């Protein structure tokens, strides 16, 4: 057997060493590759790398310094303090162009120096090491972030639900468990749509265990975890209490605190919506504005607590006669409104009648029984306005017309609206009519029930309008009151009435004339002097003039009325309370008022023979007036039955269509000449309790005593 020579053996030995070295290098690279794919932390990775390099390159000392740490990782197995440059080796660790750190190796001077192959291996190892370290750093950051996120999710007040692409619940934090009432284990893997009505951001309805529902506010985001799987994150808040608070605040803002009825703001919104709907459907909307009559006197007499109770009961009572689609609102004070979204004029008037009817029953308040009346104004869209503000204002105008006329309810008309073009034109035309004598007087007689004689004629103004024809006072007197024309208008009526009275006196007819004045006239500081001047001008004794003022006007400013009427009565002018029974005058005021006559409103007289309540009211009024020394006039007598009934009650004077309608001057003269009601001669009874200087004082008849208030109970006709 041939033995290899020494050279060949050395070559084989060298080749084997290289193979072993190459294997060790590959093994090192393999092991570092394993480290690269591991999920070890940074410290574990760096320690493992140092150990592997130290072992692979047979170094006595290895140090790995990270860029992110001030403390290096170092393993030393030999004394390398005196190692020279050939026994030292280093490389920089880079990953994705970023310096991660560096590795330094050293061998003992007794060992072989590092070769170039060692340097190449270290560079190769360094690349793998850098990537392994960087991966470990990223993994550590990810785990830290996940731990932080988990801590946050477990402690936030919002319910956090993570959901995969199939809408399956992946996680369910403790707050979500509390909000929804489910344990996480019961819902994870289930469909999130069983918990939320909508998966879109914003407010939705959440469903709790037991199928209870709650108001939820949802925010939606997206995240990716280590496996790069996209997840949707739903942040859910239970906003039930907030929604309840918002609803309560909204209700408070839109409803009256006392009655809990809609207020003006809510009514305005509903009215505007109803108008738009009516425009689309070519239908009409009706708005009714109601104001209580004499409510202030209830507050003043019984206190605001009683007034508040009355308003509460009133709101409930009014609501009972309306449909579910109608709206009743309190506008403020004692003013209410009713919105009828689909109603024509006739239906609106029927509803107004029903509203007034429910007020006929007394209100029981803590042992008190109070009766209250109201006035209602009606306006419709599109006839009277195309927007809520206009309709509200015009219904309000109509309400004041109803209140002034004591007619219960009234429909808006432009001539009574101070803001309408028609009314503005009417103001100008009325001023011209007063100046140019386009006005005229009609007269309606008053007859003594005892003697059957005409004792007085009430002067009623009319306007012969150039375009609209003959207009009654209800169409232009309110305009005069609102614009300041009432002063010249009243002067014109007084002048014309006294002028006609003077003519009758020259014809041998000593009739008194009655003229209506308003509270505005009584506020005229010159009214007493004006009346005195006109009486003097036409030579009329003051006792032949009667001033009539309505009870409601009188009580609007009773103190002022007592002052002015007292001066007129002291002068000798007769004072009559018109429409008595429709106002709210108290006995205390009635005793103090300087009046001579009560004029019972026709609403009580019309059905006196058939309505026991009306009969009782009239009987009581007559008795009260006579006890106070006042004469009584009943207006609105339209038949003989009513005449006889009133005569039987002891009423003093009658007025109405049964006797005569209001007539122009010429026709009234003809009626006086032909009627069986005898006109009073120059022995016309005095109207007053006192004898006025300059007046004749003839022997009085029984009727004269009744009219003057000087009759005793024994003298009075039964």
DSSP string for 551-584: HHHHHHTHHHHHHHHHHHHHHT-EEEEEEETSS-
The share of the chain scoring above pLDDT 70, in percent, equals 81
Q: pLDDT band at residue 298, thresholds of 50, 70 and 90? A: confident
State the CB neighbour count (10 A cutoff) for residue 110.
11
- For residues 352 and 408, is the Cβ–Cβ distance under 8 A? yes
Listed residue (103, 102, 72, 104) closest to 88, CA to CA: 104
The arithmetic mean of pLDDT across residues 206-210, rounded, is 87
- Strand 159-163 to 335-340 pairing: unpaired
> Does the bond joining 403 to the residue before it have cis omega, within 30 degrees of 0?
no
Q: Tell me the C-alpha distance between 505 and 21, whole Å.
A: 155
Fold entry, domain 17-143: Beta-Lactamase (3.30.450)
C-alpha dihedral over 41, 44, 48, 49, to 10 degrees? 50
Least confident span in 41-55, 503-517, 606-620, 622-636: 41-55
Listed residue (600, 655, 659) closest to 626, CA to CA: 600
- Is 439-708 in CATH node 3.40.605.10? no
**Can you give the pLDDT at residue 3?**
57
The encoded tokens of residue 679 equal: 């006109």
Q: pLDDT band at residue 494, thresholds of 50, 70 and 90? A: very high
**What is the side-by-side strand order in the sheet with 230-238?**
169-172, 159-163, 230-238, 213-224, 202-207
Listed residue (59, 62, 157, 149) closest to 108, CA to CA: 59
17-143 matches 255-412 in fold: no
The arithmetic mean of pLDDT across residues 395-412, rounded, is 88
The arithmetic mean of pLDDT across residues 534-547, rounded, is 96
C-alpha dihedral over 300, 306, 308, 312, to 10 degrees? -140
The better pLDDT of the pair 467, 276 is held by 276
- For residues 98 and 124, is the Cβ–Cβ distance under 8 A? no
Helix (H, G, I), strand (E, B) or coil at 14: helix
C-alpha dihedral over 111, 112, 116, 120, to 10 degrees? -40
Q: Is the pLDDT of residue 553 over 80?
A: no
CATH number of 156-243: 3.30.450.20
Q: What is the pLDDT of residues 326-369, one digit of tens each?
A: 999 999 888 999 999 989 999 999 999 999 999 888 888 878 88
The better pLDDT of the pair 51, 356 is held by 356
Q: Number of helices (H) and strands (E), helices first, in the chain? A: 24, 27
Q: Is the pLDDT of residue 697 over 60?
A: no
**Can you give the pLDDT at residue 680?**
54
Q: Tell me the C-alpha distance between 586 and 456, whole Å.
A: 28
Q: Tell me the C-alpha distance between 129 and 109, whole Å.
A: 27
The arithmetic mean of pLDDT across residues 459-473, rounded, is 89
Least confident span in 63-77, 257-271, 431-445: 63-77
Q: What residue segments make up the domains of the chain, in order of their start?
A: 17-143, 156-243, 255-412, 439-708
Residues 6 or more apart whose Cβ sits within 8 Å of residue 40? 48, 136
The encoded tokens of residue 610 equal: 């058939």
**Can you give the pLDDT at residue 415?**
66
Q: pLDDT band at residue 687, thresholds of 50, 70 and 90? A: very low
Q: What is the DSSP letter of 290?
A: E
The arithmetic mean of pLDDT across residues 559-577, rounded, is 93
Q: pLDDT band at residue 56, thresholds of 50, 70 and 90? A: low
**Phi–psi pair at 413, nearest 5 degrees:** -135, 140
Listed residue (594, 603, 599) closest to 575, CA to CA: 594
The share of the chain scoring above pLDDT 90, in percent, equals 35
The better pLDDT of the pair 73, 240 is held by 240
Helix (H, G, I), strand (E, B) or coil at 526: coil
Task: Write out the DSSP string of 250-289.
Answer: HHHHHB-TTT--B-HHHHHHHHHHHHHHHHHHT--EEEEE
Q: What is the pLDDT of residues 595-621, one digit of tens each?
A: 999 999 888 898 898 888 888 889 988
The arithmetic mean of pLDDT across residues 29-53, rounded, is 66
- Is 255-412 in CATH node 3.30.300.30? no
**Can you give the pLDDT at residue 454?**
94
Segments in 471-550 forming alpha helices (H): 473-483, 486-506, 519-522, 527-538
Q: Tell me the C-alpha distance between 115 and 524, whole Å.
A: 129
**Can you give the pLDDT at residue 62?**
62
- For residues 654 and 453, is the Cβ–Cβ distance under 8 A? no
**Can you give the pLDDT at residue 678?**
66
Q: Is the pLDDT of residue 1 over 70?
A: no
**Can you give the pLDDT at residue 294?**
80
The encoded tokens of residue 225 equal: 């975890």
The encoded tokens of residue 283 equal: 């239908």
């Amino acid at each position: 057997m041939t033995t290899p020579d020494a050279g060949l053996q050395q070559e084989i030995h060298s080749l084997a060493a290289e193979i072993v070295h190459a294997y060790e290098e590959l093994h090192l690279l393999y092991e570092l590759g394993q480290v690269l794919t591991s999920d070890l932390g940074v410290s574990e990775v760096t320690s493992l790398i140092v150990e592997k390099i130290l072992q692979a390159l047979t170094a006595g000392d290895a140090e790995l310094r990270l860029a992110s740490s001030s403390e290096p990782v170092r393993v030393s197995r030999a004394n390398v303090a005196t190692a020279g440059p050939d026994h030292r080796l280093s490389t920089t660790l880079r990953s994705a162009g970023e310096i991660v750190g560096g590795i330094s190796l050293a061998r003992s001077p007794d060992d072989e120096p590092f070769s170039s192959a060692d340097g190449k291996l270290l560079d190769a190892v360094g690349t793998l090491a850098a990537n392994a370290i960087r991966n470990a750093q990223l993994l550590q950051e990810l785990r830290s972030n996940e731990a932080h996120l988990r801590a946050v999710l477990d402690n936030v007040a919002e319910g956090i639900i993570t959901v995969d692409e199939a809408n399956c619940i992946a996680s369910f934090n403790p707050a979500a468990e509390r909000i929804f009432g489910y344990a996480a284990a019961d819902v994870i893997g289930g469909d999130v749509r069983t918990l939320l009505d909508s998966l879109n951001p914003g407010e939705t309805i959440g469903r709790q265990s037991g199928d209870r529902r709650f108001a939820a506010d949802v925010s939606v985001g997206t995240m990716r975890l280590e496996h790069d799987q996209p997840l949707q994150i739903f942040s859910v808040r239970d906003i039930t209490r907030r929604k309840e608070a918002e609803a309560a605040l909204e209700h408070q803002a839109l409803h009256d605190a006392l009655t809990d009825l809609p207020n003006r703001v809510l009514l305005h919104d509903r009215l505007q919506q109803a108008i738009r709907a009516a425009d689309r459907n070519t239908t009409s909307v009706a708005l009714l504005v109601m104001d209580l009559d004499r409510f202030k006197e209830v507050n003043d007499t019984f206190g605001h607590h009683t007034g508040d109770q009355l308003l509460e009961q009133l709101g409930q009572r009014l609501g009972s006669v309306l449909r579910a689609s109608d709206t009743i609102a309190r506008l403020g004070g004692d003013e209410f409104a009713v919105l009828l979204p689909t109603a024509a004029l006739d239906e609106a008037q029927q509803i107004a009648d029903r509203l007034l009817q429910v007020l006929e029953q007394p209100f029981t308040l803590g042992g008190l029984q109070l009766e209250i009346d109201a006035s209602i104004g009606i306006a419709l869209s599109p006839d009277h306005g195309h927007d809520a503000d206009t309709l509200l204002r015009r219904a309000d105008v109509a309400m004041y017309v109803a209140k002034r006329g004591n007619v219960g309810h009234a429909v808006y008309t432009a001539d009574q609206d101070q803001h309408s073009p028609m009314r503005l034109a009417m103001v100008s035309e009325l001023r011209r009519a007063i100046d140019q004598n386009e006005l005229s007087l009609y007269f309606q007689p008053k007859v003594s029930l005892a003697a059957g004689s005409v004792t007085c004629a009430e002067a009623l103004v009319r306007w012969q309008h150039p375009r609209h024809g003959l207009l009654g006072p209800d169409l232009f007197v309110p305009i005069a009151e609102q614009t300041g024309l009432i002063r010249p208008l009243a002067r014109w009526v007084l002048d014309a009435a006294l002028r006609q009275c003077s003519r009758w006196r020259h014809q041998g007819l000593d009739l008194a004339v009655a003229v209506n004045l308003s509270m505005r006239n009584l506020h005229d500081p010159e009214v007493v002097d004006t009346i005195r001047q006109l009486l003097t001008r036409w030579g009329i004794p003051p006792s032949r003039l009667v001033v009539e003022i309505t009870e409601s006007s009188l009580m609007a400013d009773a103190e002022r009325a007592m002052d002015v009427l007292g001066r007129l009565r002291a002068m000798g002018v007769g004072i009559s309370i018109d429409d008595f029974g429709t106002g709210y005058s108290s006995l205390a005021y009635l005793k103090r008022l300087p009046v001579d006559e009560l004029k019972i409103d026709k609403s009580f007289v019309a059905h006196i023979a058939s309505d026991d309540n009306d009969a009782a009211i009239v009987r009581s009024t007559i008795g009260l007036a006579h006890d106070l020394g006042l004469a009584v006039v009943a207006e609105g007598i339209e038949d003989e039955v009513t005449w006889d009934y009133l005569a039987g009650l002891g009423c003093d004077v009658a007025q109405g269509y049964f006797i005569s309608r209001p007539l122009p001057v010429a026709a009234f003269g003809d009626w006086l000449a032909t009627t069986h009601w005898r006109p009073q001669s120059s022995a016309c009874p005095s109207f007053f309790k006192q004898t006025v200087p300059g007046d004749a004082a003839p022997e009085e008849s029984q009727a004269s005593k009744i009219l003057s208030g000087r009759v005793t109970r024994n003298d009075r006709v039964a």
